[in-house]
Structure 1
Amino acid sequence: MSNNPDHQTGLGPVDALFRGIVYLCRVITGVALVSLTVLLGYQVFGRYVLNDTPTWVDPLSLLLIMLIAFLGAGIGVYEHTHLSVVMMRQAVTARIRTAMVLLTDLMMAGFGGLMMWYGWQLTAFKWKNDIPLIGLPEGLRSLPLTICGGMILVFALGHLVRVLLGRDTRADSVE
Structure 2
Amino acid sequence: MVEFVLTLSRVLAAFSRLVLWMAGAGLVAMTAFIGMQVWGRFVLNDTPTWTETSSILLMGWVIFLGAAVGIREGNHLSFDVLLYVLPQRVVRVCHYISDFVVIAFGTGMIAYGWQLADTTWSTTIPNLGITGATSFFSLIFGGVLMILFSVERLLRRAVGLPTARFGEDAIED
Specify if TM > 0.5: yes
What's 1:144 paired with? 138
The alignment-based identity, stated in percent, is 31
* Higher mean displacement: 115-124 or 103-112: 115-124
Kindly indicate whether the alpha-carbon contact (under 8 Å) linking 2:74 and 2:165 is maintained by their aligned counterparts in 1: no
Residue 57 of structure 1 and its aligned partner are, at CA, apart by 1.2
User: Does structure 2 retain, via aligned residues, the 8 Å contact 1:94–1:174?
Assistant: no
* Cα distance in 2 for residues equivalent to 1:122 and 1:64: 18
1:54 maps to 48
Moved over 2 A (4+): 168-175
Structure 2: state its 5+ residue gaps: none
1:109 to 103, 106, 111: 103
Q: Higher relative CO (CA 8 A, sep ≥ 6), structure 1 or 2? A: 1
Q: Is the contact made by 1:116 and 1:147 (CA closer than 8 Å) also made in structure 2?
A: yes
Please point out which of 19, 23, 31 is paired with 2:17.
23
**Structure 2 residue 116 is the aligned partner of structure 1 residue 122:** yes
Name the SS for the 2:155 alignment partner. helix
Alignment partner, residue 32 of structure 1:
26
TM-score, normalising length: structure 1? 0.87
1:97 is matched with which residue: 91, 94, 100?
91
In structure 2, the residue matched to 1:4 is none
> How many Å apart are 1:34 and its aligned residue?
1.5
Cα displacement string for residues 56-99 of structure 1 (whole angstroms, at most 9, x for unaligned residues): 21111100111111111011001110111101211100111111
With over 3 angstroms needed to count, the CA separation of the structure-2 counterparts of 1:92 and 1:125, relative to structure 1, is: same
What is the Cα deviation at residue 128 of structure 1? 2.4
1:88 pairs with 53, 64, 82, which one?
A: 82
**What's the counterpart of residue 76 of structure 1?**
70
Q: Which residue of 2 aligns with 1:133?
A: 127
Aligned to 1:3: none
Larger CA deviation: 147-156 vs 163-172: 163-172
Q: Distance in 2 between matches of 1:150 and 1:108?
A: 11
State how many pairs are aligned: 167
